[in-house]
Each structure stands twice: as C-alpha cells, then as structure tokens.
Amino acid sequence: MAKNVLIIGAGGVAQVTAHKLAQNASEFGALHIASRTQSKADDIIASVKAKGHQVEFTSHSVDAMDSKAVADLIRKIDANIVINVGSAFVNMTVLQGCIETGAAYLDTAIHEDPAKICETPPWYGNYEWKRREAVEKAGMTAILGVGFDPGVVNAYARLAEDEYFDKIESIDIVDINAGSHGRWFATNFDPEINFREFTGTVYAWQGGKWTENKMFEVGREWDLPVVGKRTAYLSGHDEVHSLSARYKDSDVRFWMGFGEHYINVFTVLQNLGLLSEQPVKTAEGLEVVPLKVVKAVLPDPASLAPDYEGKTCIGDLVKGTRDGKPGEVFIYNVADHKDAYNEVGSQGISYTAGVPPVAAAILVARGEWDVKKMVNVEDLPARPFLELLGKLGLPTRVIDATGDHPL
C-alpha cells in the first residue's frame, strides 16, 4: 500500500521537500505538512499547487516540541514516513512520536538543546543514538541526517569505501557556496542554527581522536570544479560526528567556505556577545537571548531565493589505498541557485538540503532503505541513493584517476 508522508516544518527546506514529494507523488500515498504556524504550511502547499501538481496535500498545526501531539497527528493522518525538516530543537520529540507510532523517521541535522552549544562529541551520542534500542524495539526505521551535509556527503564517503578503497585515510568534506544573494548580509538557512554551528569549539576527528580548534583558526585554499579557488575553514559539522564512528581509523574533517565579509560580520557579532544562546537582561529588565534578536533582524533565508545567483559545490575529498596503492577521489555535486528557484521557488542551499530526504523517503517507501533500525546515511548502500538523487536534480560527479565524470 502507498505510504503517507508527513513533513514537519514549513521553512525554506520544507518548501523544497514538499515540491519534490509532489513531483514524485506516484511513489507515495497522501502528503501532509505540519508546522507551529499552519499558515506557513498553507503557503507551501499553495506554491506546490501553483506548479500544477494535482496531489492530495494537507496542512496541520502541531507543536513539534510535544511528542504526544506529534504521535496524535501521525495516528490521525495515518502517516508512515515522517520527514523532519523543522528546527533541530524538535528532533527528539518528533523521533519519539515516530517510535510511539511506528512511522519511519528521517531528519537532516543533529538534535540540539537551545541552551547548549557544541556539546561533547560525538554529538549524535548525546541524543539520537541513545534511542537506538527503542527504535529497533519499535521495529521502525530512523535515518538520521539525510540532507546534503550531513546526508549526501556521508553517502559520498560510503561510495568511496564501496568502490574505491579498501582502506580510507581521510575524508575532507568541503562546502562552498559561490552564490550571491545581493543582500548586505544574510545567512542561507535559519540564522540561529547557522551561527550556532560556528560559535563553539570546532571538532574534527584526526589521528583517532577528537581535536579542538576555534572557528576561522584553520583555513585552507581549495581549487574546486566550477567555483574555482576558494578559502574554506575547518568547521564543526554534524556528519563528522557519525563518520568518525564508522571510519575511526581515518581523519574526518569538514571545511566551510566563507568570504571576508561574512567573517567580519560574524566576528563582530561574536565578539560583542550577540551570538550568545544564553539570555541577557536589558536595562528595562527584559530577559532576551541575543541570538534570537539577531535572527529577528536578519533577512528570512527563504526571501533570498528570487535574487540568488551562482552555484554551490559540495563534495568529499577521500584519500585511501587499494591493494596498498594510494589514491584519491573527489565526489561532488554542483547546484545552481537560479535553477532551484525556477524549479521549486527556493534558493540552492535549501534545495540541496530538501531534496535528499525525498530520495530517502522514496527508498524507504520502496523497501530498499526500510531497514527497521536507526542508521546514519553511511550505514546504507550509497549507489541507489545517489543514482536516485541524480534523477531528482542533484547529480553526482566524480574526479578520479580517469578524470572528471558523472557517477
């Protein structure tokens, strides 16, 4: 029987996910989308309908921080697959709602506690992985971190493992956004989540242990396809916290590209204390979290889409040996902001994050990835996922000994 899908969240990523689900409606049963603010979900459905999709798509209001409310909604609409693209603060309650009802659970980022930043690594160990047994006992499928990064880049690592090396020495994930939104400053996704990534310790997995740096302390120039020479900085990122478990004898690092302007704005806000997740008290006695005020004054990332131009390049440089012979491979995707906007009304960053959970949902619906346990993306066969992604608009390319070619 066709599986009903429920999207949790109604931001920029949810919009992409909704469009992609609608484009692939024949793989699923009824489609649903739920958000704290139902009108945002309605807007997304309206944008899907405006593209001419004749699908059953229903909006709901839900407090995703309330696992019972989530479970009640899942039962009410008989959802079989839940795609959580809401805030990272709601992962554990949405997961719990799925455990209680047996619905498959997909998300695109690690759970976060609003009051904590950069907890002890591996971050998955603090939240999601503690529910592994509960998920297995419930006999349901939970696929963690199946956006682009984390997600597709984890599959790239797995592809290198499956098809290139018998021993992997290092996995360097590089994320370059060479696009331009034309605003004085904006973040490409939720400013709160965006800044929280960079205000704490930068964890990398090197030499078999966690290493610690500060943000912008370690920079390296990369020369990548399409986007050219760009400086990227060692950054903390979700996928390092699962890949380091599977590839514990390899170095695992994440590099994020930043321009000088972004770094300057970030540095000012950070040094002034305006990126703090801890409340301060104004002279008038109002308690307020500075980071939430910064979020309130910045452009809504979804609003950037119409003017966004240029391309992103995200990929894994994997080094290793096969039969004792050293080699390297760069597995990557290039996405175009304008193409994303024309197709689904979103910018490229939302597009790369919102399409992969739809590919995963299709594989779950088809049974290929319906593994009845909690996994990260690198725990699953990569090729079917990457081939499907190619059909959904995120083609994989590979630079190896034979040159630069499609997967």
Among 290, 327, 381, 384, binds its own copies (CB under 8 A): 290
Candidate residues 52, 139, 184, 401; the one interacting with its own copies per rule CB under 8 A: 184
Site string for its own copies, 296-325 (x = CB under 8 A): xxx---------------------------
For its own copies, the binding residues in 238-277 under the rule CB under 8 A are: 264-265, 268-269, 271-274, 276
The per-residue DSSP string of 337-375 comes to: HHHHHHHHS--HHHHHHHSHHHHHHHHHHHTTT--SSEE
Minimal distance in Å, beta carbon 285 to its own copies?
10
- For 310, what's the count of Cα atoms within 13 Å in the CB-facing half-sphere? 14
Positive or negative torsion for Cα 258, 260, 266, 267: positive
Min dist CB 291 to its own copies, Å, is 10
- β-partners of residue 317 are 172, 330
Q: What sign does the CA torsion over 364, 368, 374, 377 have?
A: negative
Q: Is 220 in the site for its own copies (CB under 8 A)?
A: no
CA triplet 108, 292, 348: central angle to 5 degrees? 40
98 touches its own copies by CB under 8 A: no
Q: Which residue has tokens 């939104």?
A: 181
Q: Which is nearer to its own copies, 24 or 93 (CB)?
A: 93
Regarding 115 and contact with its own copies (CB under 8 A), the answer is: no
Q: Which amino acid is at 254?
A: F
2 binds its own copies (CB under 8 A): no
Q: Is residue 170 involved in binding its own copies (CB under 8 A)?
A: no
Residue 46 or 272: the one with the smaller Cβ distance to its own copies is: 272
Residue 164 · residue 322 · CB < 8 Å: yes
Residues that bind its own copies (rule: CB under 8 A) add up to a total of: 28
Asked if 185 touches its own copies (CB under 8 A), the answer is yes
**Cβ-contact 158, 380 below 8 angstroms:** yes
Residues that bind its own copies (CB under 8 A): 184-185, 192, 264-265, 268-269, 271-274, 276, 280-284, 286, 288-290, 292-298
